[in-house]
Amino acid sequence: MDYADKEEFLKEFGEDYGYPNGPKSIDQIRATEFKRLENGTVYLDHAGATLYSELQMEAIFRDFTTNVYGNPHSQSDISLATCDIVRAAREQVLDYFNASMKDYKCIFTSGATAALKLVGEAFPWSHQSSYMYTMENHNSVLGIRDHVYPLAISRYALSQGAAAFAIDVEEAVDNDGLSEGLVTSTKISLHPIQRRKGASFPERDPAGDAYNLFAFPSECNFSGSRFNLDLVNIMKKNPERILEISPFSKGRWMVLIDAAKGCVTQPPDLSKYPVDFVVMSFYKIFGYPTGLGALIMRNDAAKLLKNTYFSGGTVAASIADIDFVKRRQGVEELFEDGSASFLSIASIRHGFNLINSLTVPAICRHIASLGMYVRKVLLSLRHENGADVCTIYATYTSEVSYHDTGSMVSFNLKRPDGSWFGYREVEKLASLSGIQLRTGCFCNPGACAKYLGLSHSDLLSNIEAGHVCWDDNDIIHGKPTGAIRVSFGYMSTFEDAKKFIDFIRNSFVSFPNKSANGNLSRGGSSHFSPEGIRMVMQFVILLYLASDLFRISGMERWLSVSKYVIKFITVYPIKSCAGFSVERWPLCSTGLLHDREWLLKSQTGEILTQKKVPEMCLISTYIDLNQEILVVKSPRCRDELPINLKPDSYNGGIDEIDLYGQRYEVLGYADEVNLWFSKAIGRPCSLLQCFSPKFRVCLNKRGDTVMCRDLESRLNFTNEAQFLLVSEESVSDLNSKLKADTRKGIDGVTVKVNPMRFRPNLVVSGGEPYAEDRWRNLKIGGCNRCQMINFTHKDGQVQKSKEPLATLASYRRLKGKILFGILLRYDITELDTDSYLEVGQEVHVNPE
């Protein structure tokens, strides 16, 4: 089914979608409680954090502005009333999990991670203990296993002598879709046993008295797979049936469930499943407050935990100058160190009121209908050659009800030739389309490796190649290092899901190729050869310009099929700041003299750019070569700042920085210069100038220093090459598409792009749009446009727009890159001290 319209969707999911029996329909909820989404934002990262309701926040604000709350550790009337509010909040949390106050206690923490940390630190580990956890677990659960740093004192499993091991759980489903007996239909596979060498073991426990811990999520935050909670009863009553092949089945097994994700739609029913520990975070359920979670703990389990630290609120009495402390007896008081976050706790009742009005089962059905819709459509997508577009990561079978498939879809996308689209490419393009989603491994390395088929050697090789969490290394050795995840919340709509599906179709599904008018094929076939594509990725571009100024070694004959001339020359002295136009400018071994020769660095060592500090575009620059002065101005600074370029003017010392895999020696400036720039951008920073060393070094993938291969052609602080060239005809064509596409820019005005928006050094005129794509296609590459070009400044204020990148992405994207303009490198072998570029100079090109 194509689900071309909402009517078709409702035929299949209408009984579950949109709260048909609720107090409000989904459309009413969006119109009255989520007005901030009316700007077109599609939020699909509810597994990371769901959105708070505006009515919910209004209720909290009214509460806080009409009532007075005090520290619960005081004895005033207000504080005692606050204690009652906190007590009622505990009961509300227990009710959510159908837990009896006789059997369970609710301990407030700063989040699910803090709750897990508390269990790991206070658990009675011994050398006979075992910590067993499913492969599909969040890093915060794996942390209970322990990783010791030098000189660190650890209270976690391995350091206390316990064994730790991961397991895979697989369940069979019969033809009727009904589970057979759990024990007979569940397969447990053990991973290697881990023990810490040199761990200080406590005194040996009597046989059978060791305490073991089994941890698993109620719902995997990578795949959305839900675990069968019957595992709780099996592990509590008869672990030998599950662990019959394991030597670790002895002792008392306790069970921990990470419900941070699963409790949103199916909170574990603790009246049926006697889980010892359940952890959760409130922002996952109703968006606010953040920084507050809970540990729901059985009373008998609480007696086994030992909190060695004491603080205000956990002690009944203590004496300062001798070793004496008397602890409080209440479970909550024993484990809640310091004053509780009582205002956040007071606010959760407003979130629960909202959820209860819709009911958790109705929320589950609503979310599941959207998840199944997206899942079905993604699996149905095909490229023009019949190849599948999408690979979904999940363990569902066809017999499983869609109500049990979770609220998320994790997947990767393939090109027609079977190669993968990088997930960061998908995320960046989604952002341009107003769609917010999540990519990576979602802090779940076990599930990531399992579903992506990554071996230990693959993972170690990726780390060796420099891959870490949250970086852009999305494809290594032809394999994805993570996935794309969309997840839905109680306020998500069919329109959200449909816009996402349309985005995938329009951006990643290959249709019959239309390569005219500057189009670059998404499917991988284009007028760039494979060698040319590789050169694009490596940014190696050589071109003749103006007779012999730019020369490719060994090439002696050039054709002039069209007359191209230089229309504008622009120099950008300070990286990411405004440049200045000139009629004539000298060349040097780094390109245009003084181009990108300076940069700004934060106090933490971060190199600043417009992408992170948009205010940098407000700093104007100009260089007077005769007086050897760089002049900078800013609307935030009353006076302009002249900077002397003479060698004897530097007094800030020499330092080294690493940038784009290269190591630079840099010169610093006096405090008054740095203070001026700090005021101009609104944050502390320092100005650095590229210093010309006698040798040049680069950094390899490991971060080690090596000699650069190309010692003659040097770069200042440019991203990729010495020059960027764009043509007026290509910019004009882009503007015609922006106008025809009716996409709106800032304040509802259609965007019109000036060539200077791309920060080119050279603007040329002559020929057809995008003719530069075909200039020596084996030696020429496109410029990978970053989001810097989406910034404009008006009336001294910096504004961000989705354009022109969104339109460029629709027809100028190739192998994950948005291409516009070409990059050039100056050939130093023909260096002449009198070499200049001039406006009006003719450009000779060598076409393909």
449-484 pLDDT, tens digit each: 999 999 999 999 988 888 888 888 899 999 999 999
Helix axes 342-358, 54-66, angle to 10 degrees: 140
The owner of tokens 């190649």 is 465
The pLDDT value given to residue 494: 97
The pLDDT value given to residue 723: 86
Q: How far apart are CA 175 and CA 481, in angstroms?
A: 35
The pLDDT value given to residue 832: 52
The owner of tokens 């699910």 is 112
pLDDT in tens, 420-449: 999 999 999 999 899 999 999 999 999 999
Give the chain's mean pLDDT: 82
Is residue 275 predicted with pLDDT exceeding 80?
A: yes
Cβ(489)–Cβ(367) below 8 Å: yes
Is residue 280 predicted with pLDDT exceeding 60?
A: yes
CA distances from 361 to 10, 25, 123, 269 (A): 19, 15, 34, 13
The pLDDT value given to residue 664: 82
Tell me the average pLDDT across 86-99: 97
Cβ(718)–Cβ(781) below 8 Å: no
The owner of tokens 């410029």 is 783
Is the bond preceding 289 in cis, omega lying within 30 degrees of 0?
Answer: yes
> In percent, how much of the chain has pLDDT > 70?
78
Give DSSP secondary structure letters for 250-297: -SEEEEEEE-TTGGGT----TTTS--SEEEEETHHHHS--SS-EEEEE
pLDDT in tens, 572-629: 999 999 999 999 999 888 889 999 999 999 999 899 999 889 999 999 999 999 999 9
Cβ(448)–Cβ(438) below 8 Å: no
Tell me the average pLDDT across 165-183: 63
The pLDDT value given to residue 111: 96
Helix axes 6-13, 360-380, angle to 10 degrees: 120
The pLDDT value given to residue 846: 66
pLDDT in tens, 486-517: 999 999 999 999 999 999 999 999 887 644 45
Dig out the tokens for 174 from the structure.
């019969």
Residue 199 or 508, more confident: 508
The one-letter amino acid code at 374 reads V
The pLDDT value given to residue 657: 82
User: How sure is the predictor about 250, in pLDDT bands with cuts at 50, 70 and 90?
Assistant: confident
The pLDDT value given to residue 541: 31
User: How sure is the predictor about 847, in pLDDT bands with cuts at 50, 70 and 90?
Assistant: low
Three-state SS string across 179-197, please? CCCHHHHEEEEECCCECCC
Is residue 370 predicted with pLDDT exceeding 80?
A: yes
Residue 365 or 399, more confident: 365
Is residue 237 predicted with pLDDT exceeding 60?
A: yes
Cβ(723)–Cβ(715) below 8 Å: no
The pLDDT value given to residue 5: 82
Instruction: Report angle CA 477, 483, 488 to the nearest 5 degrees.
Output: 175
Tell me the average pLDDT across 678-691: 93
> In percent, how much of the chain has pLDDT > 90?
55
Is residue 785 predicted with pLDDT exceeding 50?
A: no
Tell me the average pLDDT across 633-648: 90
Is the bond preceding 124 in cis, omega lying within 30 degrees of 0?
Answer: no
- Choose the catalytic residue: 220, 443, 588, 783: 443
Tell me the average pLDDT across 770-785: 53
Is residue 797 predicted with pLDDT exceeding 60?
A: no
pLDDT in tens, 811-843: 787 777 778 888 777 665 544 556 888 999 888
User: How sure is the predictor about 270, in pLDDT bands with cuts at 50, 70 and 90?
Assistant: very high
Cβ(226)–Cβ(219) below 8 Å: yes
Three-state SS string across 31-99, please? HHHCHHHCCCCEECECCCCCCCCHHHHHHHHHHHHHCCCCCCCCCCHHHHHHHHHHHHHHHHHHHHCCC
Lowest mean pLDDT segment, chosen from 123-127, 173-177, 216-220, 225-229: 173-177
Is residue 150 predicted with pLDDT exceeding 80?
A: no
Cβ(847)–Cβ(822) below 8 Å: no
Instruction: Report angle CA 796, 802, 803 to the nearest 5 degrees.
Output: 85
User: How sure is the predictor about 56, in pLDDT bands with cuts at 50, 70 and 90?
Assistant: very high
833 phi and psi, to 5 degrees? -60, -15
Catalytic annotation on 83?
Answer: no
3-state secondary structure of 248: coil
Give every CB contact of residue 786 below 8 A, 6+ residues apart in sequence: 611, 719
Dig out the tokens for 830 from the structure.
């023909």
Q: How far apart are CA 597 and CA 148, in angstroms?
A: 44
User: How sure is the predictor about 796, in pLDDT bands with cuts at 50, 70 and 90?
Assistant: low
The pLDDT value given to residue 512: 76
Q: End-to-end distance of the chain based on CA atoms, in angstroms?
A: 45
pLDDT in tens, 297-350: 999 999 999 888 888 778 888 888 888 888 888 888 888 888 889 999 999 999
The pLDDT value given to residue 710: 46
Tell me the average pLDDT across 40-61: 97
pLDDT in tens, 524-579: 333 333 333 333 322 223 333 333 333 333 333 344 446 789 999 999 999 999 99
The pLDDT value given to residue 119: 96
Range with top average pLDDT, 175-189, 404-418, 682-696, 776-790: 404-418
Query: Could you give the strand order of the β-sheet that contains 104-109, starting from the edge strand earlier in sequence?
Result: 104-109, 293-298, 277-281, 252-258, 211-217, 130-134, 163-171, 186-190
3-state secondary structure of 159: helix
Dig out the tokens for 32 from the structure.
């009255």
